[in-house]
A = this chain, B = another copy of it.
Amino acid sequence: MSRDEEERDAAQITSPSNPRIKRLVGLRNREARDRESVFVVEGARDLGRALESGHRPTEVYYDNSLFSRSPFPAPDEASVDALALDRASYRGHSQGIIAVFEQFDVNLDRLELGPAPLVLVLEAIEKPGNLGAMLRTADAVGVDAVIALGAGIDPFNPNVIRASTGTLFTVPLAVTDLEAAAIWLEQRDVRIVAADPLASTTLWEADLSGPTALLIGSEHDGLTPSARSAAGLLVSIPMHGAADSLNASVSAAILAFEALRQRSC
């Protein structure tokens, strides 16, 4: 079958109340995503990053006022009127393309560490946008892996994907609990270094050039007591101001780039 013939098979969606649009709207809900084991990606930037890293969408919905055919191939392609596609977009504006992917494995077992690995461990991140921002930083630093702790963590939340600028697809990520992560890291001789505003050792005094897992507490509560005990070293980021804390994703970036500096210099 030629490409032209395939195109004739693309579904045509004109109405915002089309059942397929309603299903996409429904996928904003985590339960619905998990039931189908899928997630949704909007916009060419994030979708492009998915493709670059070897992920393939199962469905593509494209704005037929912008594209004459699907700009990314998929087993299921649909040509959609702009207003209907905007309805499907979780932000109300589709950026021209919406794709559905199968959820991928986020088990610890999928992670592979290189020599002198650098891992970012994030405890109970509350805001999806913060998890996404930290994935973006992890990508820039080139960490071996990100481990997100907490049953509530949903890496397939649209705000995670958006804030990550698509690096959800490029950074090896696992979601698990503290105990499993601590055992996994110990078995691989990776030292846990946790950020603690009260630690007497600063990040600049600590040796972060060996196998290191940087552990960051949650935005509001900081490290839990069990996370603090799991750490082989506590380090502080020196602060000189009136406020008593940094944004969790800023703390993660400062620690990760200090580790990168020590490994580069």
Which residues of chain A have a CB within 8 Å of any CB of chain B?
49, 52-53, 133, 136-142, 165-167, 169-171, 202, 204, 237-243, 245-247, 249-250, 253-254, 257-258, 260-261, 264-265
Most chain B beta-carbon contacts within 10 A, residue among A142, A165, A243:
A243
A141 touching B250, Cβ below 8 Å: no
Listed by A's residue number, 22 A-B pairs whose Cβ atoms lie within 8 Å are: A53-B242, A133-B250, A137-B247, A138-B241, A139-B241, A139-B243, A140-B245, A140-B246, A141-B241, A166-B243, A171-B241, A202-B264, A204-B261, A204-B264, A204-B265, A237-B257, A238-B264, A247-B249, A250-B250, A250-B253, A253-B253, A258-B261
A142 touching B240, Cβ below 8 Å: yes
Chain B residue at minimum C-beta to C-beta distance from A246: B140
So how many copies of this chain end up in the complex? 2
Please report the C-alpha to C-alpha distance between residue A170 and residue B242 in the assembled complex, in whole angstroms: 7
Chain B residue at minimum C-beta to C-beta distance from A165: B243
B241 touching A133, Cβ below 8 Å: no
Question: Contacts of A166 on B, CB cut-off 8 Å?
Answer: 242-243
Known contacts A49-B243, A265-B204, A137 near B238 by CB under 8 Å: no
Known contacts A139-B241, A141-B240, A241-B140, A257 near B254 by CB under 8 Å: yes
B246 touching A253, Cβ below 8 Å: yes
B167 touching A136, Cβ below 8 Å: no
Question: Contacts of A246 on B, CB cut-off 8 Å?
Answer: 136-137, 140, 253
List 20 other contacts, CB 8 Å, given A137-B246, A167-B241, A171-B241. A52-B242, A53-B242, A136-B247, A137-B247, A137-B250, A138-B241, A139-B241, A139-B243, A140-B237, A140-B241, A140-B245, A141-B241, A166-B242, A166-B243, A167-B242, A170-B241, A204-B264, A238-B260, A238-B264, A253-B254
Please report the C-alpha to C-alpha distance between residue A169 and residue B242 in the assembled complex, in whole angstroms: 10
Most chain B beta-carbon contacts within 10 A, residue among A167, A202, A242, A258:
A242
Chain B residue at minimum C-beta to C-beta distance from A205: B265
Please report the C-alpha to C-alpha distance between residue A137 and residue B253 in the assembled complex, in whole angstroms: 12
Please report the C-alpha to C-alpha distance between residue A246 and residue B253 in the assembled complex, in whole angstroms: 10
Shortest Cβ gap from A85 to chain B (Å): 23
